[in-house]
Amino acid sequence: MTDLLIFEESLASIAGVLKDFPQLRVVCWQAGGRLTIDGQPVAANDVTPEIGWISFNLLASGQMKSYVDTLLRFHSLRWVQSTHAGLDNPAYRQLAQKGVRLSKSYAQSIPIAEYVLAHALYHFQGIEFRLEAQRAADWKGFRFRELYGTRWLIVGFGHIGRRVAERARAFNCHITTLRRSGTSDAAADEIVSREGLLHVLGQSDVVVLACPENQETRGIVDTKFVRAMKVGSLLVNVARGGLIDDQALLEGLAAGRPGSAVLDTFNDEPLPGDHPYWSHPGVVVTAHTSNAGEGTAGRSCQQFIGNLERYLTGEPLGDEVDPASLLKTS
């Protein structure tokens, strides 16, 4: 029998499917650390959780740290599926240090890609201008810029970056991606390594940050980065706030490099009320919600069940993360 430790509020969404795994015993975890099986309290000494799931409900509850602290107490733990696309939370490093296998999520890649395209269209179409004209009952128009033929640089080409590329290509945009390996990819028109970054920035109309935050990417948007950007370009950050040097970006915006920025993640969250981004005319601020599509939770459940079946049958896990990438992150 294999024990799964699951947040109690997440059980209802997959309870029916779990019946297909007779070799699985479900141990429910409640806020505060109380454990139950079939509604009956059990002692920690009576269970041996081998599998954990950092579910959408768990993240929404704010109880992730407490749940992971419970997981870390069990030497039986072997694998944890996360609903995070990026595993930069210190809890994942702790799990990796114990030799626990970790899988990241692809569930949010669709809404994040739609978020990027929505804001790119908003920017290029001049939607704010149109709304202001309507509010003023002012019958006027302007010549807007098309997405057609624009050049995009996508920094990071995992599930999110690739989804963005697929959608931008539907508008006949040219896609360049920055990849550490520099190897080719059918979803991109061009691949560049870090050495070619500054040159490509000067050609890019849209720059999308969709990479993990680690030693190599932290603070990548610095003074050199923004000074190399194309005048009037658009920067979209759906990765992590730590990728951006805020002062460098503000100085870049003042010089028109980039012309505008759409920011969904920040160094400090919630973003302090007195932060310059809130009132900056060239910045759109959203509250780290680019992933909040109505289908995200359902896809997260599907991914967990798929990987659960693979784990129980000894097959390779989908989206498993190399623990070395977490252990070298400071």
The domain in which residue 88 lies consists of 2-106+295-327
Q: Cα(49)–Cα(200) distance, rounded to whole angstroms?
A: 48
| pLDDT interval class at 328 (50, 70, 90) | confident
Task: Write out the two tokens for 58.
Answer: 């768990």
State pTM to two decimals.
Answer: 0.94
Closest CA to 206 of 269, 146, 160, 158: 146
Give the per-residue pLDDT at 179.
Answer: 80
Same domain assignment for residues 180 and 151: yes
Q: Is the dihedral of CA 229, 234, 239, 240 positive or negative?
A: positive
Number of domains observed in the structure of the chain: 2
The alpha helices in 35-146, defined as continuous H runs, are 56-61, 64-72, 90-97, 109-125, 127-135
Residue 290 counted as domain residue: no
Domain CATH number, residue 268: 3.40.50.720
Contacts of 95 (CB under 8 A, 6+ apart): 68, 71, 72, 77, 80, 102
pLDDT at 268 over 80: yes
Q: Cα angle at 105 between 104 and 106, to 5 degrees?
A: 135
Same domain assignment for residues 87 and 154: no
Same domain assignment for residues 28 and 124: no
pLDDT digit string, tens, across residues 233-245? 999 999 999 999 9
pLDDT digit string, tens, across residues 43-65? 999 999 999 999 999 999 999 99
